[in-house]
Amino acid sequence: MIPLEIVKEIKLCEISPTQRSPKYFIVALSDEENLNICREGCIAGFPETANGQWAYLDIYEGDYISFYFNGRIWDLYKVVEKFIPNKYKKNIAKGNSDRDPVPVFNEKRWNPVGNKEKIYFPFRMKLQRLKESDFETSMVFKSGLERLGINLIPRVSIKKTHFQLPLNSITTYWGLQDIDAQKRNFSLNSFIECSNRSQNRKSHSNSEEVIETLVPHELTISTCTHLEIYLQAFYKIIFEAFWFEINPVNEFENRDMEYFSEQTVYGGEADLAIVPIDNRPPEFFIELKNKTIFSKNKLTTDGQKAFEQAVHYSSVFWGKDGTKIAIAGKQRNFSKALSIATLGNNFWFFQIDESIKIKELFSEKYTKVKLRKKV
């Protein structure tokens, strides 16, 4: 096993988080009728899939989105509200109906995705249209949108629901100079909503009691990151909220950064990317594993596999010399800390204590769990 140098342990619970900057996302659709309903109703929907959950966790109120369909980008919107319809709060959004049972608006319903099993859209967002495009103005490949082209084809081909572009793409593509870039407090409410649904379904089938509101006062990182997509969205929050304490790269000192979901790189797809806003190297790519990646100063087997995967990543824009790489995971060690280790000058390893209670990281008020007897 490769020996690491443990360079820092950060007690996140003792640090006040910064606020979150708005993001810009492209939401991919595969059905023209669904696109028309989205545009007419100013609403977005994401399917009952791992990628659909990931989009719901990744996109916040106050973020900006555009739709992608058939080689074109459609409209610019601001996310006003995220919600899960009541029907889907306790029921999986799959079935036999040829239309989503829950109307979008005025009894208009989306076509499901999937073949044998019809998959509907429980994860929804109300939108405010800021600028409308037409067939002529919706062309994808324009000067200044290189990151769009790099990320577009692989994501659409593997059925990803969304991908992220730099916020300044709004100015480049849409010509808007005065977009609202107001920062907001971080929130884990969407994590709780999604955990609610899976827990409710389990309790319906396996218990005499039904969990009505799973927002426990003692909710931990472990509860919020039971799937790797949850950990991916969670680590993105942690890096941005605590970057001034976490930043391990000397070249990033005194530079404003932008925090990206999965990005295409030479050698694969990095789960997260942290990139200087001034568009100068290096770029920082993070590979996520929902496991323990190192113990003391040694990589675990899972950590070694992740390292062997990520070591081949390099920036599409700056090559290997403009690339820094990290692996991130979690471990229940009750340290209340984020541990940082290094290997040479270009590789870092992050491991968070999954026993940390989210109320210790963020100041939102989380209500206690409520139970009711099965009828």
pLDDT of residue 114 exceeding 80, the answer is: yes
CATH number (domain holding residue 107): 3.10.590.10
Q: Are residues 29 and 119 in the same domain?
A: yes
Those residues whose C-beta lies under 8 Å from the C-beta of residue 201, and which sit 6 or more positions away, are 90, 91, 92
d(CA 9, CA 245): 10
CB atoms within 10 A of CB 122: 27
253 in any annotated domain = yes
Place of tokens 């929907």: 45
Q: Please report the sign of the dihedral spanned by the C-alpha atoms of residue 121, residue 123, residue 126, residue 130.
A: negative
Tokens (6 digits) for 155: 């994501």
What's the domain range around 276? 5-17+220-359
Q: Are residues 36 and 144 in the same domain?
A: yes
Q: Are residues 161 and 225 in the same domain?
A: no
pLDDT tens digit sequence for 19-74:
999 999 999 898 999 999 999 999 999 999 999 999 999 999 999 999 988 878 89
SS3 content of the chain, % helix, strand, coil (to 5): 30, 30, 40
Q: Are residues 228 and 316 in the same domain?
A: yes
Q: Are residues 166 and 246 in the same domain?
A: no
> Last residue of some domain: 174, 202, 230?
174
pLDDT tens digit sequence for 293-312:
999 899 999 999 999 999 99
Q: Are residues 225 and 165 in the same domain?
A: no
301 in any annotated domain = yes
pLDDT tens digit sequence for 219-275:
889 988 888 899 999 999 999 999 999 999 999 999 999 999 988 899 888 999 999
Whether 184 contacts 299, CB under 8 Å:
no
Q: Are residues 155 and 238 in the same domain?
A: no
pLDDT of residue 139 exceeding 80, the answer is: no
How does 27-60 read in b/e, with b if 16+ C-beta sit within 10 Å?
Answer: bbbeeeebbebbbebbbbbbbbbebbbbbbbbbb
